[in-house]
Amino acid sequence: MISVFLAWLDLLEVSRDRLHCRVMIHESADVGAAEYYWADLVGIDRALFGKTILKKHNPTTVRKNTGTAYRGCLGIKVRQGAALYRRIEGAWYGIVGAVSGSDLGNRA
């Protein structure tokens, strides 16, 4: 999902220096490896990431997202995103407005 979002931002010509990324991960996981993984995927220096949010470890919870493959979750915000938001909103209005009334019954 992150790759699709980044491809979409690339299509909209949003430069990587406008991105603010933050990793959210359980404190019992390998935080450093997760940060390197996400930095490599996004193409941003790890030092430019925001402070990592550590989720408290609860040993009584049965989680499936454990082990070496667990890399937490990445949050991405676009700095100065108001103009980008308006562009995206305008595109959606155009898409929705282009759908004819006869197609409305086919929607889920």
At 56, phi and psi to the nearest 5?
Answer: -65, 140
SS3 state at 17: helix
- Residue 21 CB: number of other CB atoms within 10 A? 20
The structure's pTM equals: 0.74
pLDDT, tens digit, for every residue of 44-79? Answer: 999 889 999 998 877 777 777 777 788 999 999 999
In a domain, 20, yes or no: yes
Contact 75, 21 (CB under 8 A): yes
In a domain, 107, yes or no: no
**CA 52 and chain centroid, separation:** 14
In a domain, 104, yes or no: no
**Domain boundaries, position 90:** 2-99
pLDDT at 108: 60
